[in-house]
Structure 1
Amino acid sequence: MSPHESTKTIKASATPFDTLLELFNIHLAKHIERVSSELFQYILDTEENKYIVVKCNGRTTRFLLLEETIYAEGFDEGFCRGMVDEMYVYNIEMIVDKDSKRLAFGCNKIDRLRAEMMDLISRITRYLIEGDLEKVEESLQLLYEHSVSKHFKTEEELMVKYGYNETYKREYEQHIKAHREYLGVLKDLIDDFRRKDLKTFIIDFLAFYTDYLDYLCRTDKKLVLYLIDKCGLECCSSM
């Protein structure tokens, strides 16, 4: 069997799979015994968004199939020349990617900034998968700068300009407080990035992301509904 001849690029994972898998929701799709080399090759060439555990000749090799790239752990040129003894195929979904569509509330100006934020978060997860820690750190800093100078700045200006701060004073104060807390946690993540082991960082990063997503779905949605009711396209059109 020669999976290295796959039409896709196979790369040795720079990050341990046990760490990488924290970034995904994973569900077992099928367990197959005695898999032919032809079937295994076909799966590698045609499947995407799969995590595959292969047992052959007493060895376990793991593959992560993402678009045109296959990341492998425990793979070398001598990998399994005969039948695969067992193969576990899991469907995987990146935790970040699955949530993107939940964040469009109908105010184009804010939705666009939120989409830019999600793109930066997606980039961070991709760089974590690729093991490019320099780009992870760079993207974390870009996320912080985007939040300060664009996303939160725009929201806070709109809240004052269209009277949200007076109509919903308590919610406005909570919203501002949430912005400051978010920035504080993100700054701590950036400061701790080089000091923590990668698995701990990924767990902390995903906790930050899910907590903030919950905040977005509750707090930002109320603001957007207010803006649409108050001024419609005037304040929600793209900048």
Structure 2
Amino acid sequence: MTKLSVNINKIATLRNARGGNVPDLLRVAADIEKFGAQGITIHPRPDERHIRYQDAYDLKSIVSTEYNIEGNPMDDFTKMVLKIKPTQVTLVPDAVDAITSNAGWDTVKHKDYLKEIISEFKRNGIRTSIFVDPTLKMIEGAAETGTDRIELYTEEFADQYSLGNKAAIKPYTECAILANNLNLGINAGHDLSLENIKFFKENIPGLLEVSIGHALISEALYDGLEKVISAYLIKLN
């Protein structure tokens, strides 16, 4: 079975918009696990525009499944991860001002850098994963860094699938086969949704984990609106 790790960045975004503690990020994380998800993912950024660094520390005592922290391994991020020691750290080459992740690592160009930081995390008992584009050269480069897993960047697949182009899965399948042969675990994430997740899973051999945030939270909003509106109408009547 492929594990579902829910990215709760959007919950933090909503909370921060009003400056209070509604919705309660910690309660949401606990409920997500109670509802059956096998992991919680966060992606703190330097400006703390959604997940705050304090959230990362607070969640450590709440998350009872797998705790995955994503981000660019700059000094503050690395120090935080080494203190918290989550189940997994996923390295993402975000620019400081990136709205969302938009590219994987060049694992050839940055091999030595990745190798050094990955070895530090692994010495501290933290499973490592690196965000990569679906190209065979990047998978081969990832294997040379010593990482435990890769996370396939799935935006291109999701965009093409929504247009009816199912052939867009081909490079992902090829990369998954190569990753399996190189003994790399396979994660995936970015724009995966209820619309495309089944097809993706069926075509990615050895898929261990998907991290889904924006689509899942948006889908939950739509699926829950009718129930909440009905509850308000009952109380008002």
Taking structure 1 as the reference length, the TM-score comes to: 0.22
Q: Which has the higher contact order (CA 8 A, sep 6+)?
A: 1
Q: Which has more helix, going by share of residues? A: 1
- Look at both structures and tell me which one has the larger radius of gyration over its CA atoms: 1
- TM-score scaled by structure 2? 0.22
